Amino acid sequence: MPPTDTTPEKDAAPLRGSAPGIRFEKVIKRFGSNTVLRELDFTVAPGERVTLIGPSGSGKTTILRLLMTLEKPDGGLIFVGDDPLWHMDRGGKRVPANQKHLHEMRKRIGMVFQQFNLFPNMNVLRNLTEGPMRVLGVPRDEAVERAKGLLDLVGLADKIDAHPSQLSGGQQQRVAIARALAMEPQVLLLDEVTSALDPELVVGVQDLLRDIARQSDLTLLCVTHEMTFAKDISDRVLMFDQGQIVEEGPPERMFGEPSEQRTRDFLQAVLAT
Amino acid sequence: MEWDWSYTGDIIPDLLRGLRYTVIATLLGYLIAVVLGLVWALLRRTPNVVVRQVVRWVTEFIRCTPLIPQLFFAFYVLPTWGLTFGKLTVGVLMLGIHYSTYMAEVYRAGIADVPRGQWEAAKALNLPRTRVWLDVVLPQAVRKVIPTLGNYLIAMFKDSPLLLAIGVPELLTSARSVGARTFEYLEPMTMVGVLFIVVSVISSILLRRLERHYATN
Ligand SMILES: Nc1ncnc2c1ncn2[C@@H]1O[C@H](COP(=O)(O)OP(=O)(O)O)[C@@H](O)[C@H]1O
Ligand SMILES: [Mg+2]
């Protein structure tokens, strides 16, 4: 959610804690014969900021992609707020979600990708207005105002007419963050959003996300290997390995004195790079 | 055999009349091919398996058989089913339909080339299906294939003399009837070549300009 001054009064930013939580119940995900998530259970409280860490291939991205409905689970239930994401109630029975249900559920969720994925055929403004106008039915003027407010927030007001190819990676990622926020999601998913950036551009994007985390009430699910950043923005850290939670806790303890050997090994390996 | 300049001058008006048919047939056929090709490409991505497979095999069939029998089929067989068209109409339609199956492949490749991340970003934004296609995928796909689509204009132009088979009075037909009248084929046939080269070169230049325009914007 953007800062309150850019939010229309009618849906002014609610207090932190009113965003929906997330619950995974025995979630199974396979790719062919490779079972990536094996009856995974975990909960994220409303408005909570959770960072997922763990070695490459441990299933962190898969978790975010399941939430964004980019992948379909093979079993179990995923709740966003009180409603199952991939199922709906029909006559008291739980049936697979149809497109309409998925569309409604997706409105609660936004995602920022490692590779930005801005639309190269649109300028920055259009990247930010496309969703609000085409999906939320926001009138053009209002969508443009909202886009301008968000560009101010991400520090790129002067790039409103630029095309993505004319921007640095860091600028593209900040536009991508603004694009996600323009949809006013209640849950924001961040998948290694700084790992494709040149080192000198990482800080700018991290600072922006810190601000957003401070100013909004979003439920935040974040995959990152940047420990300082994770410490700053998260309430809780989950350590994954092979699709299982190895250990969890507040960031100070997780990074300071992890109790599991696998966590210690992982952190050691990350620090070494 | 001597080249006769005054004879050449005399036949030019006849040839230009033929060239007009050639150009019209090519442009109209091209328009059909560009639009219909996109329709095939989109139908091949519909969720309906039956539609997908039917379109796939029909276009495959048209693409892998020569244009001449297709022209003959439309010209001689369709009328026996009560479908009668003029020569030029049949020629334009069949040229367009034949090439649309090539264009379909071009569009298909362009669509397949749009990175997965674009589809995913569109989904994450919750864009409805039509918007994903119209605003995100097609603009990127079409832009990438514009040079290839342009080359097909020239290919179709060069294939248009095949319309002679059903008696469309295009350039080659005019040259042949001039020759049959005078028993002098050297000048008319040479001029056919010259006119084809002139038009092709001009079109290539225009196409390249168009390409540059899209490359910079
Ligand atoms: N589309 C896919 N097809 C096949 N295997 C996949 C696909 N996506 C992910 N995987 C596999 O799932 C496992 C978890 O991947 P991922 O969730 O990307 O891990 P992480 O983000 O923690 O590095 C890996 O073994 C990966 O190879
Ligand atoms: Mg990953």
Q: Residue B189 in 3-state DSSP? A: helix
Look at ligand 1, atom 13, and give the residue with the nearest C-alpha.
Answer: A57
Q: Which atom of ligand 1 has the smallest separation from the CA of A63?
A: 17
For the record, the structure tokens of B128 come out as 């409805």
* Contact assessment for residue A266 and residue A55, using Cβ atoms and an 8 Å cutoff: yes
User: Which chain residues have CB less than 5 Å from ligand 2, an ion?
Assistant: A 61
What pLDDT, on the 0 to 100 scale, is given for residue A254?
A: 94
Q: What spacing in Å lies between the alpha carbon of A65 and ligand 2's midpoint?
A: 10
Cα–Cα distance for residue pair B123/B141, rounded to 1 Å: 18
Bridge partners (DSSP) listed for residue A223: A52, A191
Ligand 1 centroid from CA A240, angstroms: 13
Nearest to B118 among A68, A70, A119 (CB): A119
Give the single-character DSSP code of A136: S
| Helix, strand and coil percent figures for chain B, each rounded to 5 | 85, 0, 15
Contact A222, A231 (CB under 8 A): no
User: How far is ligand 2, taken at its centre, from the CA of residue A57, in Å?
Assistant: 7
Residues of chain A contacting residue B131, judged by C-beta atoms under 8 Å apart: 130, 134
- pLDDT (tens digit per residue) in B152-161: 999 999 999 8
- The answer to whether the CB of A23 is under 6 A from ligand 1 is no
Token output for B199: 């038009």
Give pLDDT tens digits along chain B (217 positions): 688 898 888 888 989 999 999 999 999 999 999 999 999 999 999 999 999 999 999 999 999 999 999 999 999 998 899 888 889 999 999 999 999 999 999 999 999 999 999 999 999 999 999 999 999 999 999 999 998 999 999 999 999 989 888 888 888 999 999 999 988 889 999 999 999 999 999 999 998 888 888 776 5
Q: What is the largest CA-CA distance in chain B?
A: 73
Pick the residue from chain B with its C-alpha nearest to A129.
Answer: B125
Using the 8-state DSSP alphabet, how is residue A188 labeled? E
Distance from the CA of A204 to the center of ligand 1, in angstroms? 29
Say whether A183 and B120 touch across the interface (CB within 8 A): no
pLDDT at B101: 97
Its sign, for the CA torsion B99, B103, B104, B105, is positive
| Closest partner CB to A130 (pick from B123, B125, B143) | B125
Answer whether B130 touches A (CB < 8 Å): no
C-alpha span between A214 and A237 (Å, rounded): 17
Give the pLDDT score at B56: 95
Cα angle for residues A3, A5, A8 (degrees, 5° grid): 100
Between B123, B135, B143, which is nearest A130 by CB?
Answer: B135
8 A C-beta contact, residue B166 and residue B90 = yes
Which of B72, B70, B132 is closest to B98 using CA atoms? B70
The low-confidence residues of chain A, meaning pLDDT below 70, are: 1-17
Q: Is A46 in the pocket of ligand 1 (CB under 6 A)?
A: no
User: Does residue A59 have its Cβ closer than 6 Å to ligand 1?
Assistant: yes
State which amino acid sits at residue B101: T
Residue B39 and residue B98: Cα distance in Å, rounded?
A: 14
Measured CA to CA, the distance from residue B55 to residue B48 in angstroms comes to: 11
B160 alpha carbon, distance to own chain's centre: 9
| Ligand 1 pocket, residue A224 CB under 6 Å | no
Which phi and psi angles does A219 have, rounded to 5°? Answer: -80, 125
- Test B126 with A179 for CB contact under 8 angstroms: no
pLDDT tens-digit readout, A121-149: 999 999 999 999 999 999 999 999 999 99
The 8-class DSSP code of residue A15 comes to P
Angle at B80 between CA B79 and CA B84, to 5 degrees: 15
Q: What is B5-214's CATH number, 1.10.10.10, 1.10.8.60, 1.10.3720.10, 3.40.50.300?
A: 1.10.3720.10
**Cβ atoms A128, A178 nearer than 8 A:** yes
Distance between Cα A87 and ligand 2 center (Å): 25
How high is the pLDDT of residue A4? 45
* CB contact at 8 A, A243 and A58: yes
How many A/B residue pairs have CB atoms within 8 Å?
Answer: 57
In chain A the beta strands, taken as DSSP E runs, fall at: 22-31, 34-44, 49-53, 75-80, 83-84, 87-90, 93-96, 109-112, 187-191, 219-223, 236-241, 244-249
Helices and strands (DSSP H and E) totals, chain B: 9, 0
Q: Which atom of ligand 1 is nearest to the CA of A243?
A: 14
Question: A111: nearest CA in chain B?
Answer: B124
User: Per the CB < 8 Å rule, is A118 touching B120?
Assistant: no
| Kind plus residue range of the DSSP H or E element containing A12 | none
Return the domain boundaries, chain B: 5-214
pLDDT of residue B1: 67
CA–CA separation, A258 and A265 (whole Å): 10
**Which residues are paired to A96 by β-bridges?**
A87
Mutate: best of A71, A98, A100, A117, partner B, most B CBs <10 A: A117
ipTM of this complex: 0.89
State if residue A22 touches ligand 1 by the CB under 6 angstroms criterion. Answer: no
Beta bridge partner(s), residue A238 = A52, A248
A70 lines ligand 1 (CB under 6 A): no
Distance from the first to the final alpha carbon of chain A: 34
Q: CB–CB of B159/A156 below 8 Å?
A: no
Q: Quick one: angle between helices A169-182 and A140-153, nearest 10?
A: 130
Q: Verify whether the Cβ–Cβ distance A106 to B121 is below 8 Å.
A: no
Q: Which residues does A264 contact at the CB level (< 8 Å), separation at least 6?
A: A258
